[in-house]
Amino acid sequence: MINRLNKLTREERELLYQAPVLLSVQVACSSKGVNQTQKKDAIWLSHIKTFTADPVLIPYYQEVEKTFAPQFEATVQEYAPFDEAKQTALKEKIEQVNAVVAKLEPGYAEDLQHSLEKYVNHVQRSAHSVFQDFMFPLKIKGLND
């Protein structure tokens, strides 16, 4: 267990370790299903974060990495189909994560929040094509959304 998480309950720690999975599912899934490119990138990023994260967060990402892939699949199953009700439930779960992060010491909480934001941004961009921007710089319904 990570010392910085000592004051959290076991359930809060488990929820905190699920944060990258929950965020990945929120980004990679829609009513059309799971975006396989974003899923692949989320899994890859969960592994690389154990080496590239702020040193203070490396133990956190090492814990996350241990169960990321199976948790991703389980979370997809839990929230599929990704209709409005399931998306709302997923957002509520993510709000619970935010409440747990708020219980951490301020510097660590800020580092973790910033790291998770960068993680989400990376996963979001993974399915975006630079070629698409070059060829179709204007928003075209059905193509750019």
pLDDT tens-digit readout, 41-74 = 777 777 777 777 889 999 999 999 999 999 989 9
The closest of 18, 29, 49, 17 to 122, measured between CA atoms, is 49
How many domains does the chain divide into?
A: 1
Structural domain includes residue 143 = no
- Residue 118 lies in domain: 9-135
pLDDT at 131 over 50: no
Q: Which residues of 106-119 are buried (b: 16+ CB within 10 A; e: fewer)?
A: eebbebbbebbeeb
In a domain, 15, yes or no: yes
Quick check: is 140 in a domain? no
More confident residue, 50 or 20: 20
Quick check: is 1 in a domain? Answer: no
Within-domain flag for 2: no
- In-domain check, residue 125: yes
pLDDT at site 127: 57
